[in-house]
Structure 1
């Protein structure tokens, strides 16, 4: 392997930074959007972070009938003496529709930047935009006092004489309530506390439940559209069964695509960085002595004297066989008998030398190697 140069190190660092940037870019939209894409804002049937399905379920658990409607006419038809009409900034209104809602039965809860506030909440005046944050109620309204601090703001208001204001913000209040013509009208400047994203923070759930659950029946005017796309039916209950693909948020698909691009860039970077394993031209020549020494050190480290003795005897027999006129396939016994005939020695010592037991220690192994060398020299000189 070639050594890493400073130029390659800088290039690798630059590519690493690029991959990290791509990964952060891929994850940032998912983190900001909470893994959810689309959805209907403040819809009681929507389960995205901007929806309000959690509040609808909470109201139903406390015995409040939640009726989701999409048009002002349907809201007026569903309203009654013991109902509460909820109008949010997601409700699409014109001045005529606002006028019809203003004379409908029941109380009204107006949340967020709703248009035609002079019609829906006559006497309430906007003072200006304020930052939405956690605020203390600082009033005597039971619904706000029981909830405590909540995420409010958005717009501050001043109410007509006799009204009650909570959650100070700027020159006014974030919540104003008053009673006129037999209707109790409540106005809030920000609707974030009712969403799935913020319902569990501070006293948001308690405030939303206290305000929206003040009557046995809640008529929720939502954004028009197909309720199945928002995650439920028109009355706030679950619709028909959906497939697994329908349950996967749209943002996940984009996240997977961006992650695939990041993985492809990382694979391209690593593939170009590795290069050839061996820079020298192959085949690489290795000296025979190095191989022998390496094998010998291996045998010694494992105390494999039996394998070393077998290798020495086999090599000596292979070298002796041609000199004795024997084929390469001759057995060590045949080589020992032929060597004894050639040198005039007794065959028993030579049989023990070429076919005997393994040496018991390193000294015996060295002695065996020396006797084999002597036998080869005697056969060569005879």
Structure 2
């Protein structure tokens, strides 16, 4: 039963490991770029960019501050990340006039949106606008959260601050959202996400969509090549892990286990009389008359106690009194035989054994 069950369990585990290994070792399809208008993955925003173009809004994707500045002023600037920007780059972006939408607590938020004060972070979920901002009121419930801020026109309130704040600056309206997940391809169709995103990004006729620049190439380890860690394919660690798990499953499947107790036949059958005689000879050779007498007395008491109707652990006085009443013998003689001092010689030990045997026979007969 157990062998059949563990075989099925091992086969199921191997199938699961094969599926996991196939998923992990499958060739990469390219990393999805978060809020990239050219990315059609779940984290990209190609769907939102297409909807904006259908509404007559020009969407220009740029990956550098120089390109964003070259697009000119009086355009809506969407900033999704400032990880690779310097303070000078942030100042150049802040100098651009027009509406501005900033996603999250990017570095340099005090330059791009000085009216937004970060307060904390909350879980992303469907939230009601609960504010007077026309774009939020028209969109209604939106899947939003992330970072929260305090400031004018706070919408989608949370425990600390609001997930969206909007305020006027000399160059135009600045809006800060705690997370841009609602603008991605994977969440655009939920709740009022699309309505809010379109309302925020269509206030101007053109959008300058700033994304992270391409990753710089890895530095070479010396003039002749790259380090060994860069030459190892990224899927090799997962392959090694799958191999280790397969070995463990095979060991669990084929490993030995403790089964039920097996009764084996003894090579030689020893009669009880021979065992008693052998123990007697040991006592005799060691002159252990006291140990032999104790064994004889303990055995006699254990056998007499239930015959006399006494409970286990009955005391000396109870046993002697019951024996005297049953056999009619002298209580002192009985007490000396059962609880007296050890015999002085072998003859006294033999006499004690005969007396104890006579007592047992006498009790059994009565």
TM-score by length of 1: 0.53
Q: How many residues align?
A: 224
1:178 alignment partner, SS class = strand
Gaps of 5+ in 2: 216-234, 251-366
Alpha carbons of 1:27 and 1:56: their partners in 2 closer, same or farther (altered >3 Å)?
farther
The residue that corresponds to 1:191 in the other structure is 180
Structure-2 separation of matches of 1:26 and 1:187: 42
Of the three residues 137, 151, 156, the one matched with 1:167 is: 156
Alpha carbons of 1:76 and 1:202: their partners in 2 closer, same or farther (altered >3 Å)?
same
2:213 alignment partner, SS class = coil
Q: CA deviation at 1:56?
A: 0.7
Structure-2 separation of matches of 1:27 and 1:114: 37
The residue that corresponds to 2:32 in the other structure is 39
- The answer on 1:9 being equivalent to 2:4 is yes
Structure 1 segments of 4+ aligned residues over 3 angstroms from their partners: 26-30
**Higher-RCO chain (CA-CA 8 Å, sequence separation at least 6):** 1
Alpha carbons of 1:27 and 1:157: their partners in 2 closer, same or farther (altered >3 Å)?
farther
The residue that corresponds to 2:326 in the other structure is none
Within a 5 Å distance, the mapping from 1:141-290 to structure 2 comes to: 141-159=133-151, 163-225=152-214
Structure-1 separation of matches of 2:214 and 2:167: 32
The residue that corresponds to 1:297 in the other structure is none
- The answer on 1:61 being equivalent to 2:54 is yes
Contact preservation (8 Å) 1:42, 1:90: no
Contact preservation (8 Å) 2:83, 2:107: no
Of the three residues 101, 112, 129, the one matched with 2:104 is: 112
Contact preservation (8 Å) 1:155, 1:190: yes
Structure-2 separation of matches of 1:134 and 1:23: 38
TM-score by length of 2: 0.55
Alpha carbons of 1:80 and 1:135: their partners in 2 closer, same or farther (altered >3 Å)?
same
Structure-1 separation of matches of 2:82 and 2:45: 12
Of the three residues 13, 17, 31, the one matched with 1:18 is: 13
1:130 alignment partner, SS class = strand
- The answer on 1:73 being equivalent to 2:66 is yes
Alpha carbons of 1:139 and 1:29: their partners in 2 closer, same or farther (altered >3 Å)?
farther
Q: CA deviation at 1:26?
A: 5.0
Structure-1 separation of matches of 2:121 and 2:5: 50
Gaps of 5+ in 1: 1-5, 227-253, 270-382
Structure-2 separation of matches of 1:129 and 1:80: 33
2:144 alignment partner, SS class = strand
Please give the root-mean-square deviation of Cα atoms over the aligned residues, in Å.
3.0
- The answer on 1:124 being equivalent to 2:119 is no
1:119 alignment partner, SS class = helix
Structure-2 separation of matches of 1:138 and 1:28: 44
